[in-house]
Amino acid sequence: MFGVLRTTLRDRVSGHVNHDKAVVGGAPILSLDEERVLVDYVETLAQLGYGLTNERLKTLAGDLVFSFGRKKNNKPMSNNWLY
């Protein structure tokens, strides 16, 4: 129904997976420090009267991540990244 493998459910229910150490999703693409720099930049732009649209922010972040070599293409980040 939700696309979860039967073996995954079995392992969770039977205790084969430590719930305290289980993680959801992949590793963040930006470190906390990098994200903080991006937030500070966006806030500075807003204070100067130049607010960014969601699309422009996703493009800016995509360019940044691409320049770090963490993304194979130079496309904007997804809505999942933004929200």
Structure tokens at 40: 């500070």
pLDDT of residue 14: 86
pLDDT of residue 68: 92
* Rounded average pLDDT over 1-25: 79
pLDDT band at 13 (very low <50, low <70, confident <90, very high): confident
pLDDT in tens, 29-77: 999 999 999 999 999 999 999 999 999 999 999 999 999 999 999 999 9
Kind plus residue range of the DSSP H or E element containing 64: helix 54-67
State the pTM of this model: 0.68
Q: Which of 20, 33, 38 is nearest to 77 (CA)?
A: 38
Q: How far is CA 44 from CA 10, 15, 41, 60, in A?
A: 49, 48, 5, 15
